[in-house]
Amino acid sequence: MSDDSQNQHDGPDGPDGPAEPSGANGHENLPGRQRRRFPGISSRAYEHPADRSALVALRKLSGFDTVFKALSGLLPERSLRLLFLSDSVRVSDAQFAHLNAMLRDACYILDLEKVPPMYVTQDPQPNAMCIGLDEPIIVVTTGLVELLDEEEMRAVVGHEVGHALSGHSVYRTILLFLTNLALKVAWIPLGNLAIMAIVTALREWFRKSELSADRAGLLVGQDLQASMRGLMKIAGGNHLHEMNVDAFLEQAEEYETGGDLRDSVLKILNVLPRSHPFTTVRAAELKKWAASRDHQRIMDGHYPRRSEDKETSVTDSFRESASSYASNVKGSKDPLMKLVSDIAGGAGDLGGRIRRGFGGATGGAASGSSGTTGGANGTRDGSTGTATDTSTDPSDGPASDNPWDGSGTD
């Protein structure tokens, strides 16, 4: 990347100022409309409560970042940087100028002072990632660049910049390292169980951090339909004329509400190995957040500032996270979540509800016999679609442990 792209970018101040029209040879950012920018915005403004509480707690640990970065010599980060530098194309005014313009624009809107290096690597699989301890780097694949249009790609670039602003690249890199290190001592009695508990918890955080980054992508692109199209293409490929956003969102509704308790259990088992939420779920979550008061307040210029991050209460953040989970359980239409909510509310006839939840029905009371009819439930292997870190691993697949940010679903 050219030197000027690594420095703080210039542009109009103020939350309502237009995005910076940067780029080579008069190339201007698309679309030709004004987008709000958010001077001094804290990543807490868009982070999912579960993601935010974890990050606030980590930031409160004295010397945490310094220790993490001191460990960078033990990690393959330097090797990865050299690999991308030697075998990928670095985005700049001279190479992939339109991506360079979008990257600078995203950093300007989210007020990220230093523009991270960005590389395009040859890979037909649509993907992207943001990694690094010392300095974050963003990598996108040719499959992603060829799949998405300008507006959809802008949302993905904003997604990755959101990861950088939140510090996900730092924490994810070191936590992945610690996880891999722990796996080497899994031979210790009960070590496997302990490690899997840690990995499962980390994946849950990774999935929530992807929802955070999706929100950042919307703040940068400020085009909900483009964000929806991008997620839909990641799920179904470049056949936009054959797909429909509303129908795609209906799939998310059907996924949440359909089936019985058996399906609820299968949903949990299917998502546990994943570092990313399912694509339809991400689309539905993003649409819900876009319609929320929190999003509107940010667009109106009312959001937490980075200067206030040190004053953030860990207790309050965890309380918000717990409240968010409780609210999700209470409002969920999933059969298992409804059952949990009913139990918490003291619902009666619990045994009967569980039997009915698993497709059972009692009958023949008059004859003294009871019959149970079980609905047949066909299950099918869910393809995770394209790997995307969001974690960010270029190879993040259906059962991958990889928390790298993959734009396949980023």
End-to-end CA separation in angstroms for the chain: 23
DSSP structural state of residue 41: B
Residues facing residue 130 across a β-bridge: 138
State the pairing for strand pair 128-131/118-121: unpaired
Any idea which residues carry the catalytic annotation?
160
Q: Which of 69, 44, 66, 42 is nearest to 54 (CA)?
A: 44
Residues in the chain: 410
Count of Cβ atoms closer than 10 Å to residue 78 Cβ: 12
Complete DSSP assignment for 265-313: HHHHHHHTT-SS--HHHHHHHHHHHHTSHHHHHHHTT---BGGGGGG--
Q: In sequence order, what are the beta bridge partners of 138?
A: 118, 130
Burial (Cβ within 10 Å: 0-12, 13-18, ≥19) of residue 369:
exposed
